[in-house]
Amino acid sequence: MHRRWILSALAILLSLVLASCANAPTQQSQTKVSANTEAPNSNSQQSAKRVVTLSSLSTDIIYQLDKSKLVGITGSTLFNNDSRFQNIPRVSEGQSPPNLEKIVALKPDLVIGAEGFSNQAIQRLQQLGIANFLTQVKNWESLEELTKKLAQLIGADPQPLLNRYQTFLPDKSTQSLSTLVLVSRQPILAPNKNSWAGDVLTKFQAKNLAAELQGNSPIGGYVTLSAEKVLEANPEVIIVVNPPQGGSETAVLASFKKEAFWQKLQATQNNRVYTFDYYGLVNPGSIDAIEKACQQLKKNLLAVEST
């Protein structure tokens, strides 16, 4: 059992590293186009007609904007059982690098990658003269900006999707409840304000106890906490994140329950501990994953407010 949790923690750390590469804070809050190849845009009255996506989020956004433009996608567990994507060719699987031969064979006029993860493939595609676009999504505003930019590149209307995003958010203010999100046990990791999870908590007016913390964690937007620090914080609400490769909700909670501090926290004593999927809260993943995470936050935080 101990070895299993070490492996789970390592998997979470690897996924967070990849997510932090794609969501790492930069001096610009906007998404950006690769410098070496100009992507088609509406200003030149030319829009992309054959798009390959190298991240699950950009895949979902393009599909929602205009599915006829999507000719190749990255493999993702989020889409394994999704009938919408069954007949679209995969150019990568899991954490393996994109297959350049497959991409070129699809004759795309635009390839969309993730900053920090797809850079090497994008650089090669630039050399081949294929237009490309690198994305960064580190907060809600950058999600909206990405949607607008992708809509511009393919000649689509972003407003229906932007309107849908707004339905994910609460329509009334919630109390400022002290909240701690725990994404792994060994080490104990929590998102600060410079992460997607931290920004989503802000949208729900939850008081993220790790928001202002900084540490030596190699993962941008996350801090390592000691058991003493968690006990000192003593949150009203705890959100435990299931590992990205999946896992039993009971097993995840059972792992934390082994900690001596666990039963001393007011969140556990008041039965205010909730489990969330990795995709949606820690890594945006897809539009549906974001919506599900927001629905859970509405249910859990608003339910706490009413008690």
Within this chain, do residues 98 and 87 fall inside the same structural domain, yes or no? yes
Q: How far apart are CA 275 and CA 260, in angstroms?
A: 20
- Asked if residue 181 and residue 158 are part of one domain, the reply reads no
Establish if 100 belongs to a structural domain.
Answer: yes
Q: Whole domain around residue 266: which residue ranges?
A: 171-306
* CATH classification of the domain holding 224: 3.40.50.1980
**Residue 11 falls inside a structural domain:** no
179 with 295, same domain?
A: yes
Q: Are residues 148 and 179 in the same domain?
A: no
The pLDDT value recorded for residue 247 is 57
Termini Cα distance of the chain: 37
| 136 in a structural domain | yes
Q: Is residue 91 included in any domain, yes or no? A: yes
Of the residues 126, 141, 168, the one at which a domain ends: 168
> Among residues of the chain, what percentage have pLDDT more than 90?
58
- Predicted TM-score of the model (pTM): 0.84
Q: What is the pLDDT of residues 132-159, one digit of tens each?
A: 989 989 899 999 999 999 999 999 999 9
Is the pLDDT at 176 greater than 90? The verdict is: no
Cβ neighbours of residue 138 closer than 8 Å, sequence gap 6 or more:
23, 24, 25, 26, 194, 195, 196, 199, 221
Number of domains in the chain: 2
Kindly state whether residue 58 falls inside one of the protein's structural domains: yes
In a domain, 302, yes or no: yes
Q: What pLDDT does 218 receive?
A: 67
Do 161 and 183 belong to one domain? no
Last residue of a domain, one of 168, 193, 209: 168
- pLDDT tier, 112 (very low <50, low <70, confident <90, very high otherwise): very high
Phi first, then psi, for residue 90 (nearest 5°) are -95, 135
Residue 12: is it exposed, middle or buried by C-beta count within 10 angstroms (0-12/13-18/19+)? buried
Q: Are residues 161 and 83 in the same domain?
A: yes
Which pLDDT score, from 0 to 100, does residue 171 have? 80
| Inside any domain, residue 19 | no
Residue 156 and residue 79 share a domain? yes
Contacts 24+ apart (CB under 8 A), 67-71: 69/154, 69/156, 71/106, 71/107, 71/108
Which residues partner with 110 through β-bridges?
51
Residue 295 placed within a domain: yes
The region of weakest confidence among 160-164, 169-173, 185-189, 202-206 is 169-173
98/189 same-domain check: no
